[in-house]
């Protein structure tokens, strides 16, 4: 029988996960379920093919968080949301939060060793950066909803406002996290 290099040793990877790593990986699986369930609860239609792809990619990401499976998982989750054709844009914020959680938890699982004891400061820093991204997402979402209600002529204004906001958030985070330079 031919071996699949990506899955080779996946059982060993599961066995080597400590308590913190288990919680991070369970959070990733829960965020995937919230993203997919949110589309159905919001009145969209579920795609069994995309649901199967998400399930397989999620398990693969849990087994090998340092692979490209996490990126593929995020792309398929976004495709699932668009394919569900959710009639209410208000629910898109739930999907955005869930996909952000998948991204952050997959990145965290890839960076932190499976049996590591993680300090509270590290978790606080990751949570703070995630909250800043979610705040920016909420602001863009609010702008989108408000522009949709006032029937702005074209999406140029909305796109410009979103790009400007993300640029400002990126610069602010970069300035806030920059270490002082010794002269």
Query: Which conformational region is residue 44 in: left (phi greater than 0), alpha (psi within -120 to 50 degrees), or beta?
Result: beta
Mean pLDDT, the chain, integer: 79
| Spatial contact of 27 and 105, defined as CB atoms under 8 Å apart | yes
| Spatial contact of 93 and 38, defined as CB atoms under 8 Å apart | no
Tell me how far apart the alpha carbons of residues 168 and 161 are, in angstroms, rounded to a whole number.
10
Global confidence as pTM: 0.72
Cβ burial, residue 98 (10 Å; 0-12/13-18/19+): buried
pLDDT of 119 reads: 81
Band the pLDDT of 42: cuts 50, 70, 90: confident
pLDDT of 183 above 50: no
Please give the radius of gyration of the chain, using alpha carbons only, rounded to the nearest integer.
19
**Nearest residue to 83 via CA among 45, 54, 116, 118:** 45
Give 86's contacts (C-beta < 8 A, 6+ positions apart). Answer: 39, 42, 43, 44, 92
pLDDT of 81 above 60: yes
pLDDT of 55 above 90: yes
Residue ranges per domain, the chain?
1-117, 119-178
pLDDT of 52 reads: 93
pLDDT of 63 above 80: yes
Band the pLDDT of 174: cuts 50, 70, 90: low
| Spatial contact of 62 and 25, defined as CB atoms under 8 Å apart | yes
């Amino acid at each position: 029988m031919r071996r699949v290099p990506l899955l080779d040793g996946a059982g060993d990877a599961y066995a080597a996960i400590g308590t913190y790593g288990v919680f991070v990986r369970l959070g990733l699986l829960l965020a995937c379920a919230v993203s997919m369930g949110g589309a159905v609860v919001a009145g969209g239609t579920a795609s069994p093919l995309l649901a199967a792809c998400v399930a397989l990619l999620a398990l693969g990401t849990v087994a090998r968080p340092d692979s490209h499976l996490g990126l593929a998982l995020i792309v398929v989750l976004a495709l699932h949301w668009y394919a569900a054709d959710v009639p209410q844009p208000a629910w898109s914020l739930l999907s955005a939060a869930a996909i952000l959680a998948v991204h952050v938890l997959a990145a965290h699982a890839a960076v932190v060793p499976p049996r590591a004891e993680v300090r509270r400061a590290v978790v606080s820093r990751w949570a703070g950066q995630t909250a800043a991204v979610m705040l920016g997402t909420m602001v863009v979402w609010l702008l989108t909803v408000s522009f949709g209600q006032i029937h702005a002529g074209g999406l140029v204004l909305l796109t410009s406002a979103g790009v400007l906001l993300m640029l400002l958030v990126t610069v602010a985070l970069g300035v806030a996290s920059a270490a002082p330079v010794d002269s």
